[in-house]
Structures are given as structure tokens and as C-alpha cells.
Amino acid sequence: MNKMLILLICVFTFILSSCAPTKQETKEPEKKVIEKKEESIELTLWAWYEGGWEYSITEFQKLFPNVEINVKAFDFGVYQEEYMNALVDGNVPDIMAFDSAHIKNFKDIEGLQDLNQAPFHADKLAKDYPPALWNSGTSVDEKKQFAIPFSTSPRVTFYRPDIMEKYGFPSEPEALANFMEDPNNWFTIAETLAKDGIWLMQRPNELMNLYENQVGFFTKDYKYNRNNETLRKALDLSKRAYQAELVAHFDLYMPEGKQALQEGKIAMIYQGTYGSDEINGFAPEQKGLWRSTRLPFNVYSWNNSSFFSIPGNSNHKEMAWEFIKFYANYQLLTGVQNTVSAYIPARGNPISFEYKNEFLGNQKVQTLYETIMEKAEEPFLTPLDDQAEKIWDEIIDLGIQSNMDSTDILNKAEIEIESKLAQELKILRALKKE
């Protein structure tokens, strides 16, 4: 998906000078002498999205005017394969941008630069990042830092306040979030709206999805990690919703889902902070009709993160590192929109907090998003997650739709995943012990 970090451009100097100080003073980055002699340097950056880089590249070129940066974008569904092929044949860019959906699959392969080594010394930056997020860019054996995070996103609720108000429910973001902390209140909303063909959930496992990203499939020691009381309660809620026929059985990426959205038949959507852009893409005429708030049931959950890596065969690794530091550290101190900075000193910025999301009725969303991420944590990601997720989804979906006992569903998932991935888990556990 197109989950991009969009940097806040402060156009007027007097606005910047009048803003309150951030948690950390913004200091001009040191202009290092790299590949001097003023020769032209051309960096290539690969990503799964194209827009949003221009401002940062322009600002970086003020420090390094002899550097050109060319961005090549791939579709989200194919970029991982393109990256893998490039690392195999050696025809690599200087910088690779990753989404967390795929960064985990590069934790146990060769080809990406260890950024803890000289002259990068990424380990000195680790203290300024959430440990769980930083570890997402660490190799399986924990000996190499192959990626640096630059943004992270919680999962939130996007909703139609006009529909909530019409049916007599709280419409202000925090009031609605407080109301939905009680599952019975969420079900009251869902049941009331479903009578008129308006939906709060699209798929049978959607309520389960709200909880899943709170915990990875495996611990750091590669022990199974998804069999607990919280997930049992999530399954109970999911089965209750399914039995009450509160599931639309379509999503936004299906024709009927898009039509339902455009006709005002979808009242809630649970996505990462990029969700406002997604909804806008499907129904731009609904600008101003949506708002964002916390997830139901008092759930605080992560959604996705973004990372930079440098291929080992890059011809300009030091300059690539300069751009990564500029983008992921210094540049974020000037403010961010619709996401949360991975770099902790860039959080709590008054400039960011003043940003108004036009699609969300000029709602100031940054405080909400950062507050959620203070209570959420990125799960431990592994190269086996995609395989585990396929097994998990099949068992969870069948269990919800057949109304199986929740404990039995989770036990079955654990047995199946442990059994089918036994050999791979054995290898990864051995790597951890080396």
C-alpha cells in the first residue's frame, strides 16, 4: 500500500521562528566532506511510492549541491521481488526504502550493508528510536543492523461523524472512542446501523485484526507467541459479530465495497494513518465527512513502519548514508504529517500538532497518532511471519465462521504453525544461539 511519510513544509520563516521549541533543538546537520572534488554524484533511491520525496531531496541538495537523487517507484505488490532480484544480480540502487510488511523477509539474507560498521556507526543512533522498532531492522543473529526506520503508524478508526450523530451516538473523536471502549456499546452501534445496511466491519476477521498487531507470531527466541487471553477475547468478539450478521463481506478494494463507501454505507474503517488518503482516493467527494479516533475496545495497536537500507554493492554508500540521516533524523525535526516519526526527538513537535488534515474536516490528528504510538509497540518481526500468517488466517477465519471454541481455535493455530514451520524454526533458533 502507498503509506508514505509526508514532510510538513513550513513556507513562511516567521511561522517557524514563532513556534514553540520542540523536545530537541533543530541543529543544522554537519556538512561533511564526502567524495569531494565537487564531482557529480548520482544516487538512486528505490521505493514502493513515487511522490513525497521532492521537498526532502531539494533540501538535501542545499547541503550537497553536487548530488542528484533519482527515485524509482515500484508497485507495492512487486517491489519486494524487484529488490530481491537486484541483490542477487548486483544491479542495485544506492538506497532501498521498505515497508514493514517486507522488511522482515530481508532479515536473514545477504546483500544489505551492515550499518553498524564504519563509517556509518548506526548503533550510536539506536538510543533515539523505540527498541522494538529499531530491532525490526536487525538481522536474525542480531549481529547486523541492515535497516534504519524513519516512520511508524498506529492503527486507528476512521469514521463518519454525521452518521454517528444521525443515529444518536457520540460524534466527537474522543467521545466516540470512550463510548466504544465498552464492547457492548460498539455492538449497539453496529447492530443499529446494520438494520439500514450501514457497516462498521467489512470482513469476518476484522475485529481480530485490531488485536493481532499487538503481538508477533514469535518471541525474540522464536517461541510461539499468539496464544493468550487477549486473543481469546478478540475471537469471542469476532464470533459474536459474525453470528449477529454484522459483517459486510466486502472491502474497499472490491467493486461492491467501493460502491458502498461512495453511497455512505460504510461508517467505520480501521487502518493505519494513511487511511485518510486511501478513503480520499476512493471517494474524494466525501472530503470533510470523515474523522479519526482510537480503535474500539480500548485497543492500542501498531499498523506499519517504513525503513531505509543501503545495498552492499552501492557505489556511493557514504553519501547514501548522509541522505538517510538527513531524511530520517534532521528533516523529521521540521515536522511530519499523517504518520509518526520513528526518530523519538522529532516527536512532540508543535509544528506537527498544528497540521490540519483537510479530508478529515481539518482535524488536528498528529497528537492523536503520537499518543496512540506511546501506548502501542511494534511487534517482533521474523522471516517466517508470512508463512505463519497464511496458516493463521485460514484457521482463524474458519473458526470464526464455524463458531468454534476460541481456545480450540488458538490451540489449533499454534499446533499447525509449530508443526509446519518446525524445520525453519529450528534453523532460526540455532542462529540466535551462535
pTM over cut 0.85: yes
Question: Which residue carries 480520499 as its cell?
Answer: 280
Q: Express as a percent the part of the chain with pLDDT over 90.
A: 87
Mean pLDDT calculated for residue range 189-200:
98
Pairing, β 291-293 against β 340-341: unpaired
The pLDDT score that the predictor gives to residue 38 is: 60
Q: Which of 327, 378, 370 is nearest to 352 (CA)?
A: 370
Alpha helices in 155-274 (DSSP H): 161-166, 173-180, 183-194, 206-212, 229-243, 255-262
Tens digits of per-residue pLDDT, 68-120? 999 999 999 999 999 999 999 999 999 999 999 999 999 989 999 999 999 99
- In this predicted structure, the answer to whether residue 60 has a pLDDT above a threshold of 70 is yes
Between 260 and 39, the higher pLDDT residue:
260
Tens digits of per-residue pLDDT, 306-335? 999 999 999 999 999 999 999 999 989 988
The pLDDT score that the predictor gives to residue 32 is: 46
- In this predicted structure, the answer to whether residue 26 has a pLDDT above a threshold of 80 is no
Mean pLDDT calculated for residue range 126-145:
96
- Which three-class secondary structure string do you get for 328-340? HHHHHHHCEECCE
Query: What's the rounded Cα separation, in Å, for the pair 258 and 101?
Result: 24
Tens digits of per-residue pLDDT, 263-285? 999 999 999 999 999 999 999 99
Asked if the bond preceding 350 is cis, omega within 30° of 0, the reply is no
Q: What is the mean pLDDT of the chain?
A: 91
The pLDDT score that the predictor gives to residue 432 is: 76
- Domains of the chain (ranges; CATH) run 38-153+303-375 (3.40.190.10), 212-240+384-434 (no CATH)
pLDDT band (50, 70, 90) for residue 419: very high
What are the helix and strand counts (H, E) for the chain? 18, 10
Between helix 255-262 and helix 275-282 the angle, nearest 10°, is 90
Query: What's the rounded Cα separation, in Å, for the pair 294 and 371?
Result: 10
Non-local (6+) Cβ contacts of 214 within 8 A are: 230, 299, 300, 301, 302, 376, 377, 379
Query: What's the rounded Cα separation, in Å, for the pair 193 and 188?
Result: 9
- In this predicted structure, the answer to whether residue 24 has a pLDDT above a threshold of 50 is no
Query: What's the rounded Cα separation, in Å, for the pair 13 and 103?
Result: 38
Query: What's the rounded Cα separation, in Å, for the pair 380 and 13?
Result: 41
Query: What's the rounded Cα separation, in Å, for the pair 97 and 148?
Result: 10
CB neighbours of residue 15 within 10 Å: 11
Between 36 and 66, the higher pLDDT residue:
66
Terminal CA-CA length for the chain: 36
